[in-house]
Amino acid sequence: MITLKLGKWPPSTNKLFTVARNRKILSAEGRAYHNYIRFIVAQAMPPPVRRDIAYAFQMQLYRKDWTNKNWPKTKEKFKRFDLSNRIKCVEDGIVAALDMDDSQFFHMEHEKIYGDPKIIIRIYSWVPSTNTTEPS
């Protein structure tokens, strides 16, 4: 299992890319975050990732204030924070840093948790389901 702790929040996918010379490229903010992830991975010195097995990707985002302070006076109970909008940046950075392919992720879990701000990533081997029957 590979466990990584990130102390910085990723940019939103809305800020992850920019257009230069009619090409979509990683923005300066996106490149900086990917470099940050490479640094964290290099410090962690995880075992090499094999390209012939499937993996699970678990991401836990910790934050103290997922709830709006003035609830129920505010319209929404929870702060507007689109989790799926942050996953892509973290996943792409980790895949690049570990020299793997994101097609190897067969199982993904993402969770918002109350706590001191941080992101915990766990990557571990996964046995894909062979069930060919769809649920009814």
Does 110 fall in a domain? yes
> What would the mean pLDDT of 47-52 be, rounded to a whole number?
90
Q: What is the CATH number of the domain that holds 67?
A: 3.30.1330.70
Q: What is the mean pLDDT of residues 35-57?
A: 93
Q: Is residue 15 part of a domain?
A: yes
If residue 106 lies in a helix (H) or strand (E), which one and from where to where?
A: strand 105-114
Distances (CA, A) of 86 to 6, 30, 60, 72, 122: 13, 11, 11, 27, 16
Give the number of domains in the chain. 1
- Cα distance between residue 54 and residue 105, in whole Å: 6
Can you give the residue range of the structural domain that contains 22? 2-126
Residue 11 has pLDDT above 80, yes or no: yes
Give the residue-averaged pLDDT of 58-71: 89
pTM of the model: 0.83
In a domain, 115, yes or no: yes
Query: DSSP label at 13?
Result: G
**DSSP secondary structure string for all residues of 38-74:** HHHHHHH-PPPPPTTSEEEEEEEEEES--B-TTTTTS
Q: Provide the pLDDT for residue 26.
A: 86
What is the Cα–Cα distance from 85 to 87, expressed in whole angstroms? 6
Q: Does a structural domain hold residue 136?
A: no
How many Cα atoms within 13 Å fall on the side-chain side of residue 64?
Answer: 3
Q: Residues 25-45: what's their mean pLDDT? A: 92
CA gap 20, 51 in Å, rounded = 32
Q: What is the mean pLDDT of residues 6-31?
A: 87
Confidence at residue 56, expressed as pLDDT on a 0 to 100 scale = 96
